[in-house]
Amino acid sequence: MSDPFPNRSGEDASAPASAAIGLRQALQVAAAVAGAQDHPRGCLYVVATPIGNLADISLRALHVLSLVDAIACEDTRTSGAFLRHFGLEKPLLALHEHNERAGAAQVCARLAAGERVAYISDAGTPAVSDPGAVLVQVAAAAGHRVMPLPGASSAVAALSVAGDAGAHGFAFAGFLPNKAQERATALQRLREARQATVIFEAPHRIEALAAAMAETLGDGGVRQLTVCRELTKQFEQVVTLPVAAFPGWLADDANHRRGEFVLVLHAAPAIEAVADDALPADAERMLRVLLAQLPLKQAAAIAAELSGLPRKRLYAQALAWRADAPEADDAG
């Protein structure tokens, strides 16, 4: 997590004191802005925290984190360091994927005693590919109020820069299965998806995922993918490219394989309505371009490979076009 007060060489020794004053002022502003809203006792506050850039913390989040009696968190070391950046010291309760039910019971006991408790994950919005859902479920079932504090989300941030104007909504897939066959099955389900799909991946698995995506979704070179790497951090990178080009992009530069990845698989192109046995419009265009440069048989074979349509169907269509224009030269 980046330091909100980077090294400023040449400044005087009062810089740390100035930073502390700035933090106090920020908390005062947060209280002034958010303090008028009721934040009741006995309530669980689900608080979104920055995904990399600490400046993305909201004023309301700062106010509530300063107000609560305890903070449940995914990792006490990570959250402790995060809170110290803002001059906050609170009792921390470890609540992660391995102890979530036991941790939820501990949180509910505090809520029953009238305490305010916040929950934060290591980064971003809790319960989105992170622990938190079980805690929310248990707290709500016990009759406690649960209040969301919205903020940073890598999934929504990636969608906002994907520019997939043709998508019908979006789906969140999170991390796909590690096993090759299960991952291939999951990707196969996305072949005809008309919504954008958000996928998370770790750097040590990104090349395997890229290869699988290219194999399953890259035919035709039409399907687009927005790759977001290290969102909000110093080396943030966002690029949109065909799915088929993703493995090559990773191989071009070792830096492309570093950091955490959020991928937005764009919606599958709409299949245009066709009459009788007419080819889809994109396949027809492809075949016509190939026929202008290649013999008929070779053009049909390549078009079949790229479009996934039967070679015989493409070959028959090419023959029909030739019959309609007998003067055309054909080396096939």
Number of domains in the chain: 3
For residues 148 and 160, state if they share a domain: no
- pLDDT of amino acid 24: 82
Residue 226 lies inside a defined structural domain of this protein: yes
CB 225 within 8 A of CB 246: yes
CA angle 237, 241, 247 (to 5 degrees): 85
The CATH number that applies at residue 98 is 3.40.1010.10
Residue from 68, 61, 94, 97 nearest 80 by CA: 94
For residues 172 and 244, state if they share a domain: yes
Q: How far apart are CA 248 and CA 250, in angstroms?
A: 5
For residues 143 and 29, state if they share a domain: yes
For residues 193 and 89, state if they share a domain: no
Residue 148 lies inside a defined structural domain of this protein: yes
Q: Could you give the strand order of the β-sheet that contains 170-175, starting from the edge strand earlier in sequence?
A: 170-175, 196-201, 261-265, 224-229, 237-242
Res. 330 pLDDT band, cuts 50 70 90: very low
pLDDT tens across 156-215, in order? 999 999 999 989 999 999 999 999 999 999 999 999 899 999 999 999 999 999 999 999
Q: Could you give the strand order of the β-sheet that contains 117-120, starting from the edge strand earlier in sequence?
A: 92-94, 70-73, 117-120, 43-47, 145-149
Q: How far apart are CA 228 and CA 251, in angstroms?
A: 16
For residues 249 and 292, state if they share a domain: no
Q: Higher model confidence: residue 6 or residue 266?
A: 266
Q: Which domain holds residue 115?
A: 15-152
Q: Helix 206-217 and helix 180-188: axis angle, to 10°?
A: 40
Q: How far apart are CA 175 and CA 183, in angstroms?
A: 10
Residue from 139, 92, 73, 134 nearest 112 by CA: 139
For residues 94 and 168, state if they share a domain: no
pLDDT, averaged across the chain: 88
For residues 26 and 39, state if they share a domain: yes
For residues 132 and 24, state if they share a domain: yes
CB 241 within 8 A of CB 227: yes
